[in-house]
Chains A and B, each alone.
Chain A
Amino acid sequence: MRLHRSLAGKLLCWGFVGSSFVLALVVGLGYVQARSLLEEELEAKARELAQATANRMAIVTESLERTTETVADLVDTLAVDRAALAEVIARTVERNAEIYGSALALLPREGEEPFAPYVYRDGDELVRTSLAAESYRFDVQDWFVLPRHGGAPQWSEPYYDEGGGNVLMATYSAPLRDGRGDFRGVVTADLSLPWLTSFLKSLPLLGPEGFTFLLSAQGTVIAHPDEALIMNETLFSLAKSRDDDGLAELGRHMIGGEAGFGAVTLSGQTGWTAFAPVGDTGWSLAVFFPRSELLRDVATLSRTQGAAALIGMILLLAVIAFLAQSITKPLRALDGAVQALAGGDDEAPLPDPRGTDEVSRLTASFAVMREELRRSMAELARTAQARERIESELRIGRAIQMSLIPKTFPPFPTRSDFALHALLEPAREVGGDFYDFFLTDDDHLCLAVGDVSGKGVPAALFMAVTRTFLKALAREERSPSRVLERLNDELAEGNDASMFVTLFFAVVDLRRGLMRYASGGHPSPLVARPDGTVSTLPRPRGPLVGALEGMTFDEGEKTLERDDRLLVFTDGVTEAMTAKGELFGDDRTARALSALAALSCREIVAGLRERLVRFADGADQSDDIALLLFTYSGKGSSDP
C-alpha cells in the first residue's frame, strides 16, 4: 500500500503507535489510581455511614430506653391504680413509633392478682392483652429475669415472643422497685426486628448492591436483607460453615464493640464492610459494599477516560494527517517535477513556494537549478550546432583539399630518369597544406609544396585557386621567381581575408639536373645523398605569397647529382609536437632523412611518417603534414 511508503503514511503510522502507547499508559495508570482512590474514598464513606447508621439506630434504642425508664420511674413514684398503669403503657406505645409493644409486669406476690398488662401494635391498631396467663410464665422470661437479677435496665437477646407479641423482637426492661427498694417488677419496651430491618432499609446505603446488617451482643444476626439468616445464624456459625476465618475475625471485632473496616466475603460476594457499635445495646451494625460495584464505578470512570483518550487520539491523527498532507503535497509535486525533468520535461509545474520552510526553499532551489539547467542545455545545443557547422565546414574543406592533390604513385611510371613520392596528412582541424607536381614538357618537371593560412573551406578554396594559377603560370613562365611574382599579384588582388600561402616552387631541367627554385616564406627543403649526407637548400629571399601586391622574389639554383634526394615539406613536419609541446625540429628532420637516405622514395616517405607518429606518441597532430620526396636518377653532370 502506498501509505506505508509515503511520508504522510509514516507520520500517521508512528503518530498512531506513539499516541496509542501514551494513551494506553494514561488510561492504565488512571484505572489503577482511580481504583485506589475509590477504595480510599469508599473506606472513609463506609466508616462514616456505619457510624451514622449506628447512631441512627442508637437514637431509636436510646429513645426506647429513655421511654421505658421514664415509665418505670413513673410507676415507681405514683402508686396509681392498675387500670391507670395499663393506660400509661398503652399511651407509651401509641406515642412512640419505634416501640412495638410494652409490658408492665409485677412480681407475683401471695394473695395478689397477677398483673402483667401488655400492649402491642397490630398494623394501626393497639392490642391490649395480659401476659398473666396460665400458659405464659413471664417471670421466667429473660426480659423479666435479667433486670431482676442484674438490678439495672437491660436489653435481652432477640427472641421470638410466642404467646406475647408473636414476633421476633428484642426487649429492653427496666426494673421497678417498691418503697423499700426491693425488686417489684419490670417495665419493658419491645423492638420488633422486622421493623428494625425495614428501618435499616430506609436508611441510605453504599450503592444499590450494598446492604446493612446488625449483630446482637452474642453475634446473632438480628437484621439482614436475607431474612432466613435472622435469629438462625451467628456470624461465627456462618464463618464456620464457610470455613472463613476472616468472617470470624470480623465477628469478634464487631461483638467486641469496636468500630472498623475490613475486606470480607458476604452472601457470596467479596467486598468491604465497615462496622460500629449501636449505643449501649451491645449490638454492632455493619454496612457492606460489594467489590464488583466499586469495580463497576472504576470501569465506568476508565471507560469515560478511554473514550476521551480515543477522541483525543482521533483528533491528533487528524492533525497529523493534515500536517503531513500540507508538508508532503508540495513535496509530491516537487517529486513529480523532478521525475518529469529526469524524463526530459523541464516545464512541469512546481508547487507555489509559500513561506520559508525547508520544502519551500527546496522548491525554490530546484526552480533555480532547473532554470540553470534549461539555460545551459540551450547554450549547449547552440554550441553543438555551431560546432557542427564549423566541423562540417572543416570536413568540406578537407575533402576539397584531398580531392585536388595527385594521389597516384608512382605518378609517371614510364619515366626512369626520376622518381617521386608525396604524402599529405591533414590535421584534425587545421587545413591548407598541399603539394603538386607536373611536367610542362618532357624535360621540365615542376614541384610545389605549399601551406595556406587559415582553415576550412576558405583555406581549401584559396589552395585550389593557388594551384590553378600556379599550373597556368608555370606553362607561361620558365623562371620560378617570375611564377611566384605573378602568382603573388594574382592572389593579392582583392584578397580581403588577408589569406596567403607559403610556397616552395621548383622547376627541374631533367636533362641536366639543373633545378631553379623560388620560395615564398617556406621552410627550406633538404637535399640528401644515398650515403646519408644531408644539406639544406639555400633559401632565396621571398615573402608570403598573396599577402601584398608587387613583391619580388629571388631565385636559387642547384645542380642535382645522380641519386640526389630532394625533400620538400611544410612546417607540420618540423613543428610536429609531443603532448608536452616538444617540437620535432629541423635537426631531427635532417637526421631522419639521413638515416633513410639509401631507401626508395616511397620508403623514405613512409619512414619519415612513421618517425613523426612515433615522436608524437599519441598526441593530436596539430598541423597538416605535407611531404614531397624527389629523386633524380637521370644523366646528371657527374654521371660516369
Chain B
Amino acid sequence: MKLERTVQNDKTVLSLSGRLDAMTAADFEKESLAWIDGGDRKILLDLAELEYISSAGLRAILALAKRAKAVGGALAVSSMTGMVAEVFTISGFDAFIPVAADRESGLEAL
C-alpha cells in the first residue's frame, strides 16, 4: 500500500495504491487520522490505483469518514474501479460515503 497526499486549496487528496488489507489498514488509518488532527477537513480519497480492499480497509475508511464528520469536515471517494468499486457497492458504503466517478467531480462535490 502506498499513500500520497496533495493539497488543493482547502481540500486534501489522498491517493491510495496497492492493497488495503488487514496488514496495511492500520498504517493508513493512523496516518490519515493524523492529517485530520493536523487540520485537514475536506478529504477526497482517490482510489484509482487501489487493487484490493478488505473489510479492515473498509473499516479504516469508515473511521476516517466518521472522524472527518466529527470535526466538521467531509470525506468522499473517487475513481474506484473493479473489485474495489464492487466491494463498495456490496458493502453498502455508497449509502453513507459520497462516491464520485473521478477526482475532479469528487473535489467539486466536497
In the complex, are the beta carbons of A543 and B58 less than 8 A apart? no
A542 on the B face (CB < 8 A): yes
In the complex the two chains form, what is the Cα distance from A7 to B44 in whole Å? 71
Question: What distance in Å separates the Cβ of B78 from its nearest Cβ neighbour in chain A?
Answer: 19
On chain B, the residues within 8 Å of A432 by CB distance are: 55
In the complex the two chains form, what is the Cα distance from A542 to B95 in whole Å? 8
Question: What distance in Å separates the Cβ of A466 from its nearest Cβ neighbour in chain B?
Answer: 14
Contact (A455, B59) CB under 8 Å given A544-B92, A551-B95: no
0/1 string, B20-35, CB within 8 A of A gives 1? 0110000000000000
In the complex, are the beta carbons of B54 and A521 less than 8 A apart? no
Tell me the nearest residue of chain A to B22, going by C-beta: A430
B63 on the A face (CB < 8 A): yes
Contact (A544, B22) CB under 8 Å given A453-B58, A502-B55: no
Residue in A453, A497, A502, A575 with the greatest tally of chain B CB atoms within 10 Å: A453
Contact (A539, B56) CB under 8 Å given A498-B62, A498-B63: no
On chain B, the residues within 8 Å of A505 by CB distance are: none
In the complex, are the beta carbons of B92 and A455 less than 8 A apart? no
In the complex, are the beta carbons of B95 and A543 less than 8 A apart? yes
Contact (A453, B56) CB under 8 Å given A430-B22, A547-B96: yes
Q: A551 contacts which of B22, B54, B63, B96 (Cβ < 8 Å)?
A: B96
In the complex the two chains form, what is the Cα distance from A453 to B62 in whole Å? 11
B66 on the A face (CB < 8 A): yes
In the complex, are the beta carbons of A521 and B22 less than 8 A apart? no
In the complex the two chains form, what is the Cα distance from A520 to B55 in whole Å? 13
In the complex, are the beta carbons of B22 and A429 less than 8 A apart? yes
In the complex, are the beta carbons of A499 and B22 less than 8 A apart? no
Q: A453 contacts which of B55, B66, B90, B96 (Cβ < 8 Å)?
A: B55
A451 on the B face (CB < 8 A): yes
Question: What distance in Å separates the Cβ of B80 from its nearest Cβ neighbour in chain A?
Answer: 15
On chain B, the residues within 8 Å of A455 by CB distance are: 22, 56
Question: What distance in Å separates the Cβ of B92 from its nearest Cβ neighbour in chain A?
Answer: 3
In the complex, are the beta carbons of B56 and A544 less than 8 A apart? no
Q: A521 contacts which of B21, B56, B91 (Cβ < 8 Å)?
A: B91
Contact (A521, B92) CB under 8 Å given A429-B22, A430-B22, A623-B54: yes
Main secondary structure of the interface of B (DSSP, over half): helix
In the complex the two chains form, what is the Cα distance from A372 to B21 in whole Å? 34
On chain A, the residues within 8 Å of B96 by CB distance are: 543, 547-548, 551
A454 on the B face (CB < 8 A): yes
In the complex the two chains form, what is the Cα distance from A547 to B91 in whole Å? 10
Question: What distance in Å separates the Cβ of B13 from its nearest Cβ neighbour in chain A?
Answer: 22
Question: What distance in Å separates the Cβ of B94 from its nearest Cβ neighbour in chain A?
Answer: 8
In the complex the two chains form, what is the Cα distance from A113 to B108 in whole Å? 182
On chain A, the residues within 8 Å of B90 by CB distance are: 502, 521-523, 539
Interface residues of B in 28-69 (CB under 8 A from A): 54-56, 58-59, 62-63, 66
In the complex the two chains form, what is the Cα distance from A522 to B87 in whole Å? 9
On chain B, the residues within 8 Å of A498 by CB distance are: 59, 62-63, 66
On chain B, the residues within 8 Å of A548 by CB distance are: 96
0/1 string, B71-101, CB within 8 A of A gives 1? 0000000000000000000111101100000
A155 on the B face (CB < 8 A): no
In the complex, are the beta carbons of B93 and A544 less than 8 A apart? yes
On chain B, the residues within 8 Å of A82 by CB distance are: none
Tell me the nearest residue of chain B to A521, going by C-beta: B91
Main secondary structure of the interface of A (DSSP, over half): loop
A511 on the B face (CB < 8 A): no
On chain B, the residues within 8 Å of A138 by CB distance are: none
Question: What distance in Å separates the Cβ of B62 from its nearest Cβ neighbour in chain A?
Answer: 5
Tell me the nearest residue of chain B to A451, going by C-beta: B55
On chain A, the residues within 8 Å of B66 by CB distance are: 498
In the complex the two chains form, what is the Cα distance from A476 to B93 in whole Å? 28
In the complex the two chains form, what is the Cα distance from A542 to B96 in whole Å? 11
A500 on the B face (CB < 8 A): yes
In the complex, are the beta carbons of A543 and B54 less than 8 A apart? no
In the complex, are the beta carbons of B92 and A543 less than 8 A apart? yes
A91 on the B face (CB < 8 A): no
Contact (A544, B63) CB under 8 Å given A430-B22, A502-B55, A551-B96: no
Interface residues of A in 416-441 (CB under 8 A from B): 429-430, 432
In the complex the two chains form, what is the Cα distance from A548 to B62 in whole Å? 9
In the complex, are the beta carbons of B59 and A500 less than 8 A apart? yes
In the complex the two chains form, what is the Cα distance from A432 to B55 in whole Å? 10
0/1 string, A478-513, CB within 8 A of B gives 1? 000000000000000000011110100000000000
On chain B, the residues within 8 Å of A10 by CB distance are: none
Question: What distance in Å separates the Cβ of A91 from its nearest Cβ neighbour in chain B?
Answer: 143
Contact (A521, B62) CB under 8 Å given A451-B55, A502-B55: no
In the complex the two chains form, what is the Cα distance from A43 to B106 in whole Å? 123
A541 on the B face (CB < 8 A): yes
On chain B, the residues within 8 Å of A454 by CB distance are: 55-56, 59
In the complex, are the beta carbons of A502 and B91 less than 8 A apart? yes
In the complex, are the beta carbons of B58 and A544 less than 8 A apart? yes
On chain A, the residues within 8 Å of B92 by CB distance are: 520-521, 541-544, 551
On chain B, the residues within 8 Å of A544 by CB distance are: 58, 62, 91-93
In the complex the two chains form, what is the Cα distance from A451 to B59 in whole Å? 12
Tell me the nearest residue of chain A to B60, going by C-beta: A498
On chain A, the residues within 8 Å of B59 by CB distance are: 453-454, 498-500
In the complex the two chains form, what is the Cα distance from A623 to B52 in whole Å? 14
What are 9 A-B contacts defined by CB distance under 8 Å? A430-B56, A452-B55, A453-B55, A453-B59, A454-B59, A542-B92, A543-B96, A544-B93, A571-B55
CB-CB nearest 6 A-B residue pairs: A543-B92, A521-B91, A498-B63, A453-B59, A543-B95, A453-B55
Listed in ascending order, the chain A residues whose CB lies under 8 Å from chain B are 429-430, 432, 451-455, 497-500, 502, 520-523, 539, 541-544, 547-548, 551, 571, 575, 622-623
7 further A-B pairs in the complex, CB-CB below 8 A; given A452-B55, A453-B56: A453-B55, A498-B62, A520-B92, A521-B91, A544-B92, A547-B93, A622-B21
Listed in ascending order, the chain B residues whose CB lies under 8 Å from chain A are 21-22, 54-56, 58-59, 62-63, 66, 90-93, 95-96
